[in-house]
């Protein structure tokens, strides 16, 4: 047992924390206010090798590993949650292409993703297939030396800025077989639809995608025919460590804002941090966030060693996102009226973190994964 970070992990932590404080945090309020995609942040992430952390340099990656990735994502999200989720989905897309792709696919897409030419996107969700991801209806019909895609996807993060999108589609209706395809922007019949207006993570673009007689070559299939759900689920296991880390980053920023405020703000003749009512909130939030971090690191360590970590990733995501929501909620309360106005960042933290118990598997789906593992 060893709870220390390695030297390399500590370096990643320092470097990304510095970047996030210097570049992302100061812009975060404006990005949120204008619902603006922070392309300059994405470029900075690329320059530091933070968009391809899970595959080797041969394909443009930095292969820093799951623990360093969790640390980096936490630090980025602590400054700007929207930038964090963009980074998370880009890394996840690249990792899926590295793990399941052919060498030709890797060479084509991975250097673009890690180099920041565009973001990566992962199109699984459909209007009728949310938690029940297997119930998707986008269809890919075989035609000559390619497939023709028809259907629509929604709530797709990075969809507008993606240089490659992994699209899950049925290749056979009975029995149902789902396959994965790599679709590039500009492909005829592929269009990006409406951009959702959201409660938080407003700097991240969330769009619907539509496929009308969209022809893709056979060589764009990721993995073998019928591998789609396997690819989706195993990619999401890793993604859940990412979202856990994002939540921890956001909530730590909220807690630290609340702690500083509690030291400064005086009421009834003393700093409010001297009241137990406030101390209790801070103590509970800090304790739960430490526990969340340990669960996330445990899952990342298992992943790094190449052993199964599905249950542990779900525990980390469930716990970190729920605890992060509680902590952010408490932070708003500590700031009182100032927690509710945009002059302080905590109202944004609360709006931003709200999505973390929803995307990449709701808390309810995490509990299903965990209880299935328990009940056998």
The residue range among 25-33, 151-159, 213-221, 365-373 that interacts with other proteins, by the rule CB under 8 A, is 365-373
Which positions ≥6 away from 301 have C-beta within 8 Å? 66, 67
Report in angstroms how near the CB of residue 321 gets to other proteins at its nearest: 12
User: Would you count residue 9 as binding other proteins (CB under 8 A)?
Assistant: yes
The residue range among 14-22, 96-104, 293-301, 352-360 that interacts with other proteins, by the rule CB under 8 A, is 293-301
C-alpha 255/C-alpha 247 separation (Å) is: 12
Q: Which residue among 47, 188, 287, 308 contacts other proteins (CB under 8 A)?
A: 287
C-alpha 254/C-alpha 356 separation (Å) is: 15
Q: Tell me whether residue 42 is exposed, middle or buried, using C-beta atoms within 10 angstroms of its C-beta: 0 to 12, 13 to 18, 19 or more.
A: buried
User: Would you count residue 371 as binding other proteins (CB under 8 A)?
Assistant: yes
The H or E element that residue 141 is part of is strand 139-143
- List binders of other proteins among 142-201 (CB under 8 A): none
C-alpha 126/C-alpha 151 separation (Å) is: 9
Closest Cα partner for 344 from 227, 228, 264, 286? 264
The residue range among 4-12, 27-35, 76-84, 156-164 that interacts with other proteins, by the rule CB under 8 A, is 4-12
Q: Which residue among 166, 243, 315, 335 contacts other proteins (CB under 8 A)?
A: 315
User: Would you count residue 270 as binding other proteins (CB under 8 A)?
Assistant: no
C-alpha 64/C-alpha 8 separation (Å) is: 9
User: Would you count residue 13 as binding other proteins (CB under 8 A)?
Assistant: no
Q: Tell me whether residue 195 is exposed, middle or buried, using C-beta atoms within 10 angstroms of its C-beta: 0 to 12, 13 to 18, 19 or more.
A: middle
Of 222 and 262, which CB lies nearer to other proteins in the complex structure?
262
Q: Is 360 a catalytic residue?
A: yes
Cβ–Cβ < 8 Å for 254, 331: yes
- List binders of other proteins among 62-91 (CB under 8 A): 67
Do the strands 146-157 and 139-143 form a parallel or antiparallel pair, or are they unpaired? antiparallel
Closest Cα partner for 157 from 117, 106, 200? 200
The residue range among 78-86, 87-95, 201-209, 296-304 that interacts with other proteins, by the rule CB under 8 A, is 296-304
Q: Which residue among 25, 29, 129, 370 contacts other proteins (CB under 8 A)?
A: 370
Please report, as ranges, the residues that interact with other proteins according to CB under 8 A. 1-6, 9, 67, 259, 262-263, 273, 276, 278-280, 282-284, 286-288, 290-292, 294-295, 297-298, 301-302, 312, 315, 318-319, 366-368, 370-371, 374-375
Q: What residues are labeled active site?
A: 360
């Amino acid at each position: 047992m060893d709870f220390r970070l390695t030297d390399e992990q500590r370096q990643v932590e320092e470097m990304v924390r510095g970047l996030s404080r210097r570049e992302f945090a100061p812009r975060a309020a404006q990005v949120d206010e204008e619902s603006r995609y922070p392309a300059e942040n994405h470029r900075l992430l690329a320059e530091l090798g933070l968009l391809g952390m899970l595959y080797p340099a041969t394909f443009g990656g930095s292969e820093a590993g799951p623990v360093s990735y969790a640390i980096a994502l936490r630090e980025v999200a602590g400054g700007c949650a929207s930038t964090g989720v963009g980074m998370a989905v880009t890394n996840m897309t690249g990792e899926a292409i590295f793990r399941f792709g052919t060498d030709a696919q890797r060479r084509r897409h991975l250097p673009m993703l890690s180099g920041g030419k565009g973001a990566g996107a992962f199109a699984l969700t459909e209007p009728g297939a949310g938690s029940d991801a297997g119930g998707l209806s986008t269809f890919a019909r075989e035609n000559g030396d390619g497939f023709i895609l028809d259907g629509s996807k929604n709530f797709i993060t990075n969809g507008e800025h993606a240089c490659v999108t992994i699209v899950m589609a049925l290749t056979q209706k009975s029995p149902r077989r789902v396959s994965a395809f790599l679709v590039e922007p500009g492909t005829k019949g592929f269009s990006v639809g409406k951009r959702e207006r959201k409660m938080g993570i407003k700097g991240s673009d969330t769009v619907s995608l539509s496929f009308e007689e969209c022809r893709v070559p056979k060589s764009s299939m990721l993995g073998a025919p019928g591998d789609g759900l396997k690819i989706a689920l195993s990619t999401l296991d890793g993604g859940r460590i990412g979202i856990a880390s994002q939540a921890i980053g956001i909530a730590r920023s909220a807690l630290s804002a609340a702690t500083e405020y509690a030291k400064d703000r005086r009421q009834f003749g003393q700093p409010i941090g001297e009241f137990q009512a406030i101390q209790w909130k801070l103590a509970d939030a800090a304790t739960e966030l430490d526990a969340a971090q340990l669960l996330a690191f445990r899952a990342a360590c298992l992943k790094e060693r190449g052993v199964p970590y599905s249950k542990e990733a779900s525990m980390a995501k469930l716990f970190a996102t729920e605890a992060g929501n509680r902590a952010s909620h408490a932070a708003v309360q500590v700031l009182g009226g100032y927690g509710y106005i945009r002059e302080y960042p905590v109202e944004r933290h609360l709006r931003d973190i709200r999505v973390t118990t929803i995307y990449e598997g709701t808390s309810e789906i995490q509990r299903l994964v965990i209880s299935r593992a328990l009940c056998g």
